[in-house]
Each structure stands twice: as structure tokens, then as C-alpha cells.
Chains A and B, each alone.
Chain A
């Protein structure tokens, strides 16, 4: 194996592939990054049995071949290399890397023990990279983080023709996003539960791709697998098992009042007022005609309050939220204004983005948030 490649191209590619390397590899070869030089270019792969990653970049290949080297070390080396073309070659059980006057000799791992990466399943459809990254980011905030209920650590992906619905919940909030995409064939209808953390990571890393193609292999054909490809990067992830809660029934069908507040001012105010909210204590929101009052803290401790302009339609309401959950939702909304729909102070409220008090409702993203019950 012998090739030369641009330093920045290599560093970026190695950094991307190395993210998939397992923290605690159960077998030493899994700590390796597979470097393969083909006549088409350079291919880097990493795999931890859950997630696989493969990236192809342009390189001048003098001699095709492949080698398995410690991924973490290669990533650190590539990050530190000077801005000169990089040359890599393998001889016996070593890989030589030279860049300018810098030389590294790396030990190789036994390539024959390295597991084969899973094949990409059949492409189900394509979606623009930036839209995909944005939508996944909006939904993943609501995904559960602890393993008590493993299904809640996933994002449910429902594909129905040209619509894709993404949903995640941790039992305290629910985020639902609908996007349009281009299905590979008509009449496609399927669901998948993808681990939220790796999906968010993947989507972010593919955000610059013009299109991301999504591939799905359902539970019926062995282990469920989802694949994403764009910008010469492809990654597969194992799907989660289990029954995702029936989230549609959680979304209230009607509301008794609706408030519209300017989002950036709202976020600032919540952040300020929440400074005095002790751990596990809420921020109280009182909506009256034309005004929203935020309060936090109790009589025995520090207190804060702030008033904001708000347009209220319907009954006046006082409701309390966990400030961190509220801020997560506000940060995920699109548009300049936040629309909050209430049914009662003890019932979940629906946050959605809008461009003004009189603008049409944008329901493509909804963030359902459970209020905190306050005494008295």
C-alpha cells in the first residue's frame, strides 16, 4: 500500500471515522481504523458492532493495499500534522506516515481478524443534508438519556410515502418533527427506532451533504439496520428493539388558550429568571392579556421575576415548567416567535414556532412539555 493525500482531507476523514471507534474495545482489532487504498482513492473504516463508518476521499494511490492501525493514535497524529502533503505506505507489519520532515512509524493490527462491515441496506429515500441535521437535532433533545427505558433513548422514524415523522420522548417532553423527503419508490411505509445519540451525531456530520440517502433493513431481514450516506461518507447503525410509546395520542387535539411570545426575548428571560431556581424547581409562567410574567424561587430563597410582551388568545393561565426542558424546546423551535398552546395548568403544553402573532401556524415541529405541579 502506498498513497499520498492532502493533509486537511486526511485529518478530516480520519477524525470523522475515528468517532465511531469504541471507547472500550472488547477485541483489540476494533480499536483499529482500516486504511484501504484503492485505484479510486482512499477509504477509511471503523466499526464497533453497533455503528459502522466508512469514508472515501481522493488520494493519489501508487500501490493499492490496506492496513489496520490504531485509530485513536492515527487521529491524534493527523490532527497534529503540519500543512504539507501526507504520504503513507505499508511495509511488513508497519505503516510509515510522512508529512514534510515529520515521520511516524505505526504498528499494524492483524487485518484478517477485523470484522466485515455490514452491507448498506437498500436505499429507501433521500433528504437534503442540512434539513436532515436540523430536524434530527430538533427531535434528539427530547430523547431519554438513561438506560432504564431503552426504547426512549431512540428516535422513532416513521416513513410514509413522501412524509417522514421523527419523534423522541423521555416521558417529560415529546418532540415531533415532520419533513418531506424523496422516497426511492412510491408507497413506502415503514418505521424504525434509531439510537438518538448516534443518529444526532451522524446527521450533524452529514449536514454539509447536498443529499443524504437513507437505507433501511427491517427487523424481518435479520437484525434491523439503518444506513446513511452522503458526501462520500456512509454509516450504518443497529436499530433498537422495542415498542415506542403511542406518541400521537399524547398530543392534545384542542387548546383553551394560545400565547405567542418573541422567542429570543423569552429564552433570555427564562435563563435569567432560572438562575434562582434551585435544582428540580420550576419557572412559573403567568399569561395575562398582553403580558407574560416569569417567576422563579420561593419565599425562603432568592426570587426573580420578569415581564414580557405576549399575545394571549383565550383563558388566562399560570403554568410552571422545568426551566432546562423549556429552554431545550425553545432552542429547537424555528421562526422568530414561540406559540404555546395550553389546555390546563396540569396538562402538557405544545410549543411550536411561528413568525409572528398573526402568522400561520407551523406544525412541522411540535414540542410537548409536561408542566410541573406547584403547591398552592
Chain B
């Protein structure tokens, strides 16, 4: 079961092990995830917990000792890391809220949402790459996987376009592999390459230039039609 437990409690926290840390008594959000990890959040600091224990770990909830009872502690949570001596000890003084939800199966993080969208947009606006360019197709198949876009330039020569959010060395290498394969096809050859990205790293630019691959920086907002030309001279 993928259950996550959220507790809002007045607590103090001590971390012992590779580093020592102490959080004084205050109201905090405690997140106990299904994988066993425990995170202590405050009301700021964005995604970052104040303190946490990564899995694999185990959580034990104990009655407080006498000294702790005198200090007002109701429960002592001890989170132990399975593979090291690290311990996260949460002294809970008061539980204000405690709720458990089953999150179900996790579809995972879709990181290339922008990349996919860029591909669709660039396919619609092939002229961004050059005047008179036409689209052959998106996801042009090769034996080692599809090329993002296959285009014809104004003179009718084939151009393979690899689209990335950030143009790095990997993207150049990937495109080089496609180009090598595509150039074996006598119907397509010669095929040239374009690396199109929102941002292109200098290293990638040097490698691309060395291999005769053109780099094109894409303006995502302009492609999406989000920029406002009335705010500009032209």
C-alpha cells in the first residue's frame, strides 16, 4: 500500500549520526511516506524539509521516559536508518492533526513535457529554422529510434532536427548517431543536422560546430505565442 501519513504536531527534533542537529519546540508538519522516510517541514523553505531521514529506515513510536513526561512529551518517534547509525528523534508534545491517505500507483515524473511541446510547436512553425523549410514528419523512424523532426530545407535537402530543452553534449552525440545512420540511406543523403534547444551549452556548441551541426536557440514563449510584440519595436 502506498500510504502517506501527514501529522501536524508541536514537537522538537534531534538528529544524531553523521551530523547533529536540533530543532527546538514548535509546530511542524511531519510526513511519513510509504517507503518509510520521514520528513520534518516548517511553513517555509519551499520543497526542503528542515530535517529528514531517507529510506531505508524504520519508525518506532515509544512512550516517553520520566524526564520527557515532565517536559510535556506525549510520544517519542525514533527513526533509525537501516544501514547506518543515524537517528532522527522527534519528541511530540501535542498532535494537532493526523491523517493517512493512500496515494495509489505513481505514474512517475514527466520531465520531457516541454520537450514534447517544443516538438509539436516547432513542427507547426518549421520556418523558425529557415525560410522555405518544410516538415517531412515528426518522430521520423530510424533503426536506433525516432528523430524528432525530419525537414527539407529551401533547396530540398534533408535535415534531421533534434529538439532539447537544454542542448548539451549528449544531444549532439545522439544527433550524430542519427545522422550517421540516415546518411547511409541513398534516398535521403546528404542529411545535415540541427540541434534546436531553448538554451545551448558552450561545450555542445563547439562539438556541434566541429561536426557541422547547426545550433538553433528556440524561444518557447514566442513559439507558444505568449510574447507580446506590442511591447517591442518589431
Where the two chains meet, the residues of A that have a C-beta atom closer than 8 Å to any C-beta of B are 23-24, 26, 146-148, 169, 171-174, 245, 250, 346, 348, 368, 370, 372-373
Binary CB contact string for chain B from 202 to 234 against chain A (1 if under 8 A, 0 otherwise): 110011011000010111001000000011111
Report Cα–Cα, A23/B203, bound state, in Å.
10
Known A-B contacts A148-B217, A148-B218; the reply to A370 vs B206 at CB < 8 A is: no
Known A-B contacts A24-B202, A26-B206; the reply to A171 vs B233 at CB < 8 A is: yes
**Which A residues are CB-close (under 8 A) to B209?**
26
B217–A370 contact, CB under 8 A? no
A368–B203 contact, CB under 8 A? no
Known A-B contacts A147-B200, A148-B219; the reply to A24 vs B206 at CB < 8 A is: yes
Report Cα–Cα, A368/B222, bound state, in Å.
23
B234–A147 contact, CB under 8 A? no
Majority secondary structure of chain A interface residues (helix, strand, loop or mixed): loop
Q: Which residue of B lies closest to A24 (CB)?
A: B206
Give 10 A-B contacts (CB < 8 Å), ordered by A residue.
A23-B202, A26-B206, A26-B210, A148-B217, A148-B218, A171-B232, A172-B233, A346-B230, A370-B232, A370-B233
**Which B residues are CB-close (under 8 A) to A24?**
202-203, 206
A368–B233 contact, CB under 8 A? yes
Report Cα–Cα, A259/B106, bound state, in Å.
63
- Not counting A26-B209, A169-B233, a sample of 17 additional A-B residue pairs whose C-beta atoms are within 8 angstroms of each other reads A24-B202, A24-B203, A24-B206, A146-B217, A147-B200, A147-B215, A147-B217, A148-B218, A148-B219, A148-B222, A171-B234, A174-B233, A245-B234, A348-B233, A370-B232, A372-B231, A373-B230
**Which A residues are CB-close (under 8 A) to B218?**
148
Report Cα–Cα, A147/B202, bound state, in Å.
12
User: Sorted from nearest, which 3 A-B pairs have the closest CB atoms?
Assistant: A147-B217, A26-B210, A171-B232
A-contacting residues, B152-203, CB 8 Å: 200, 202-203
A-contacting residues, B49-105, CB 8 Å: none
Q: Which residue of B lies closest to A246 (CB)?
A: B234
Report Cα–Cα, A169/B200, bound state, in Å.
22
Report Cα–Cα, A22/B29, bound state, in Å.
53
Q: Out of B219, B230, B231, B234, which one reaches A250, CB within 8 Å?
A: B234
**Which A residues are CB-close (under 8 A) to B206?**
24, 26
**Which A residues are CB-close (under 8 A) to B217?**
146-148
A172–B210 contact, CB under 8 A? no
A-contacting residues, B95-138, CB 8 Å: none
State the Cβ distance, B218 to closest chain A Cβ, in Å: 7
Report Cα–Cα, A145/B233, bound state, in Å.
16
Q: Which residue of A lies closest to B228 (CB)?
A: A373
B232–A172 contact, CB under 8 A? yes
